[in-house]
Amino acid sequence: MKEESLWYIFINASLINNFVLAYFLGICPFLGVSGKMETATKMGGAVTFVMLISSMCAYGIHALLVVLEAPYLQLISFIVVIAATVQLVEMFIKKMSLALFRALGIFLPLITTNCAILAVALFQTNKGYGFIESFVYALGAGAGFTLALVLMAGLREELELAAVPSVVKGTALTLLIAGILSLSFMGFAGLGS
Amino acid sequence: MSEHRPNKTVAAVSEGPTATDEFIKGLWRDNPVFVQVLGMCPTLAVSNTAGNALAMGLATAFVLLMSNILVSALRNFIPRQVRIASYILIIATFVTMVDYAIQAISVDLHKSLGAFISLIVVNCLILSRAEAFAAKNNVGKSMLDALGMGLGFTLGLFSLGAIREILGSGSLLGFALLPANFQPWIVMILPAGGFFTLAFLLLGINAWQHRPKNTTP
């Protein structure tokens, strides 16, 4: 297998193996916060930020746990770091913009339980990425998550105006669109190889 | 989706739920997969075969049961401010145990489930049961609640996995089910198939709940 270039890692994480549409990670916020374009963009930004910080911390923690020979602590320490980062972002957003804080609502603390973030930390460790590679990987994953969220929000804003049978409305419709988006993202499969 | 049946829920609360109610509600009325739409990530990702779905469902149910018991037993000792962090620590401990246990039982299974075993930690279902139920009720009730929810989750996961495996590879739990000339629907085992299957299941349940009342006997 050839050495993965940074550019390939980015494209891989954001398009080819999009975290939402190919790995099914971070589905809860994807279904929950994708109703409005503005909230979707900000949510994507917040998630990307938490991903970057936690990915850097995860790299350090992994190195430390290897030295300590305590791999069984990996999961627990990762989740603690993520929870702490989310708390930080929450305070930051509350100070910066109260309106945004209200719009994100319950989904802000729930970033802690966004599987995409923990998955970035776990995948980069499994793949044995270095510090720079991990950073790019997290950036790509965040970009991919934001892209999926924004695409979905755009589609759902349009669908508000469409005549949809009442039985299909809600989660079922969102899942159908997600399926079609997922199909179209498969078109990226050959990219970069 | 709860707004469709407000009367039922109110009635259940006013009568005071019995022990059986706590168990049954997770199986159908508040089914985590079909009604609450919680824990979607593992539901969609690991349901490409029925066997994987079953293993994932049981692993989640075990973690849910253990964490509900512990959270409920410790509910008077955990300070309110740090409760979520404490719950996550409790859950992470049990998930680590399950991770190592599955690795010991079957390396193949561990490989095919991959990182999704570790990701049970962030399954919203477990945290939401700890916060919404176990933190307010005694150990016995929490245990029944966890058992019901866990089995309901397994049931939802298994039905999704079974549909996808039958249509996507013409077999169930690895045994060939459909005739050899059946052309498998490759899309069903791809990620998109997960979204479509769940969408149509939800559609069916929606349609059933909104059926015209006078036609049913």
Chain B stretch 139-198, residues whose beta carbon is closer than 8 A to a beta carbon of chain A: 187, 190-196, 198
Cα A85 from Cα A121, distance rounded (Å): 13
Q: Is residue A80 part of a domain?
A: yes
Spell out which residues of chain B touch residue A109, defining contact as CB-CB under 8 Å: 84
From A24, A122, A173, residue closest to B191, measured CB to CB: A24
Could A75 and B96 be called an inter-chain contact, meaning their C-beta atoms sit closer than 8 Å?
A: yes
Strand pairing category for B171-172 and B175-176: antiparallel
Of A86, A76, A30, the C-alpha closest to A53 is A86
Cα B206 from Cα A33, distance rounded (Å): 22
ipTM for the assembly: 0.77
Q: Which residue of A has its CA nearest to B127?
A: A113
For residue B123, what are the contacts with CB-CB under 8 A and spacing of at least 6? Answer: A113, A115, B38, B39, B41, B42, B60
Cα A154 from Cα A164, distance rounded (Å): 17
Cα B64 from Cα B81, distance rounded (Å): 22
Cα B129 from Cα A178, distance rounded (Å): 27
Could A28 and B41 be called an inter-chain contact, meaning their C-beta atoms sit closer than 8 Å?
A: yes
Residue A106: give the domain boundaries: 36-143
Spell out which residues of chain A touch residue B206, defining contact as CB-CB under 8 Å: 167-168, 170, 172
For chains A and B, what is the number of CB pairs under 8 angstroms?
117
Q: Is residue A57 part of a domain?
A: yes
Q: Is residue A127 part of a domain?
A: yes
Report pLDDT digits (tens) over B174-211. 777 777 777 777 777 778 888 888 888 888 887 887 77
For residue A34, what are the contacts with CB-CB under 8 A and spacing of at least 6? Answer: A40, A149, A152, A153, A156, A174
Of A51, A33, A76, A63, the C-alpha closest to A144 is A51
Give the residue from A20, A24, A168 with the most B CB atoms within 10 Å of its CB, the best one to mutate: A24
Q: Is residue A165 part of a domain?
A: no
Residue appearing with tokens 């109260």: A98
Spell out which residues of chain A touch residue B195, defining contact as CB-CB under 8 Å: 175-176, 178-179, 182
Q: Tens place of pLDDT for every residue, chain B, 217 residues? A: 334 444 444 444 444 567 777 777 777 777 777 777 777 777 788 888 888 888 889 999 999 999 999 999 988 888 887 787 888 889 999 999 999 999 898 888 888 887 788 888 888 788 888 888 888 888 888 888 899 899 988 988 888 888 888 888 777 777 777 777 777 777 777 788 888 888 888 888 878 877 776 655 5
Give the residue from A16, A65, A79 with the most B CB atoms within 10 Å of its CB, the best one to mutate: A79
Spell out which residues of chain B touch residue A72, defining contact as CB-CB under 8 Å: 96, 100
Q: Which residue of B has its CA nearest to A28?
A: B40
Q: How many domains does chain A have?
A: 1
Could A166 and B210 be called an inter-chain contact, meaning their C-beta atoms sit closer than 8 Å?
A: yes
Q: Is residue A184 part of a domain?
A: no
Task: Give the 3-state secondary structure of residue B175.
Answer: strand
Task: Give the 3-state secondary structure of residue A41.
Answer: helix
